[in-house]
Amino acid sequence: MLRFPNEHSLRYRVAVALSTFSIFIVGTLCIILYFVSDDIEEAHIEQVIDMEMDHLVQRYQIHLDFIPQVGSNLKSYVIHDMNDELQIPAYLRGFNSGYHQVYYGLENYHIRVRELDGAKFLVAYRIALHQQRLSKLRLIILISWFIVVVIAFVVGYLLARVLVKQVTDLADRVSQLATDGAQTGLLARPDMDEEVAQLAHALDDYQIRIKRMLQREQEFTANVSHELRTPITTILTSCELLVATPDVPARAHYRIKMIEAAATRMGEQLQALLFLAREQGLGVTEPVAVAECVFDAVEPICSEIYRKQLKFEVNIAPSVTIIVNRQALHTALMNLLRNAVQYTESGFIRVEFNDRRLSISDSGIGIEPAYLPLLYERFFRGSEQGEGLGIGLAIVKRICNYYSWEIEVVSTPGKGTTFHIIFP
């Protein structure tokens, strides 16, 4: 079945261009034939009448008593006086020498009158057959033009397919390239047209630059990860040793815990930034106990929940499991729970799981409707309350997109917010 592409495709535009050009050329020819055919028929009629007039005059000059014959379409008369004039049909009387046209009823007659040697010669020709033939010719021209229009579109579509085939093949090969840029130098081919080959070479060059850029980025992120994780690990280890030291003053113990919490948060933010930079998966999928993952994710912020005296509820049975990547779920929960705690000063934090829908609700300040479209933008913060870089929800959105999870948000300013993660 022949199906035309949409109007935004190159193939459609090429087909329309070819078809329009063909229709314009053939249409111009048809219009010329349509109007010229009338002049051709008129010249033919005059030629027939002149030939009949010459024949009539010649026969009369040879035989003065010649009596012309009167047919259904062609009538010839020789008029000597007024009596002869009255003998011919009334619609043919009174014409002087020359070429005339008269309508009698629905019939159209072309008349030729010539005066010679005291006699008037008259030839009347009924042109009904010519009119019928002209009408048929014009109808054939119109039908032919319509057929040409249809053929032009079909042929234009097929020709466009041939013309853009190399472009579509190139697009298919580009879409099949490895995301890490391993397949470089495979787009350009010797049998390509010059313009397509130029595009392929440009894509090859761009692909090489992308590969080099990704390699530099991976090397940079790996170096940053190593250089930053080492001091963070040192800080955390030192904090653990200091906390375990006996006779540590209460104020010093509190400061050590603050340092430990800040280092832990820095490590989590580092991991999130690396995930955003590399855009790579966080591991394999496995059965994960949802409630256990929730408690693991909330553990770093338990002190904040306790300080604000929030009610933390987990309405999930311990036996409930889903097959996901544990680290991805942990990272998403950690960011959502931290946001909930940061923007809630009193009330509750509630986590529920029903019908593959994980919900994190709070009774915090809520989100203004104007901020909802920007919620998942990097470094966007809808409120000055709380701490952070404004990348938590961007990380959650990136994780959900990567693993084909859906994320929804329902919020009422001043009453709280609920985030839903829907697993496939």
Say how many domains are in the chain. Answer: 3
Please say if the pLDDT value at position 184 is more than 70.
Answer: no
Domain residues for 115?
A: 10-153
Question: Given 3-state DSSP classes, what are the helix, strand and coil percentages for the chain, each rounded to the nearest 5?
Answer: 55, 15, 25
From the list 127, 146, 111, the residue with the least C-alpha distance to 44 is 127
Q: What percent of the chain has pLDDT over 90?
A: 7
Is the domain of 270 the same as that of 288? no
The pLDDT, as a whole number, for residue 379 is 59
Residue 267: pLDDT band with limits 50, 70, 90: confident
Q: DSSP 3-state assignment of 253?
A: helix
The pLDDT, as a whole number, for residue 370 is 80
pLDDT in tens, 75-107: 888 888 888 888 888 888 888 888 888 888 888
Write out the two tokens for 369.
């409707």
The residue among 11 and 411 whose pLDDT is bigger is 411
Is the domain of 199 the same as that of 148? no
Please say if the pLDDT value at position 27 is more than 90.
Answer: no
Segment 52-81 shows an average pLDDT of 80
Stated as kind and residue range, the H or E segment containing 336 is: helix 326-342
Mean pLDDT of the chain: 79
pLDDT in tens, 213-234: 877 777 776 676 667 777 888 8
Domain annotation covers residue 163: no
The pLDDT, as a whole number, for residue 353 is 92
Residue 422: pLDDT band with limits 50, 70, 90: very high
CATH at residue 256: 1.10.287
The residue among 308 and 270 whose pLDDT is bigger is 308
Is the domain of 312 the same as that of 275? no
* Sequential DSSP letters for 183-223: STT-S--TTS-HHHHHHHHHHHHHHHHHHHHHHHHHHHHHH
At which of 279, 303, 323 does a domain end? 279
The pLDDT, as a whole number, for residue 182 is 47
At which of 254, 279, 304 does a domain end? 279
Rounded Cα–Cα distance for residues 120 and 397 (Å) = 103
What long-range pairs does 16-22 form, CB within 8 A, spacing at least 24? 16/156, 17/156, 18/152, 18/155, 18/156, 18/159, 18/160, 19/149, 19/152, 19/153, 19/155, 19/156, 19/157, 22/148, 22/152, 22/155, 22/156
Least confident among 133-137, 179-183, 328-332: 179-183
Least confident among 101-105, 189-193, 318-322, 372-376: 189-193
Is the domain of 225 the same as that of 359? no
Domain annotation covers residue 158: no
Is the domain of 184 the same as that of 300? no
pLDDT in tens, 364-396: 888 888 887 777 776 555 555 545 446 778 888
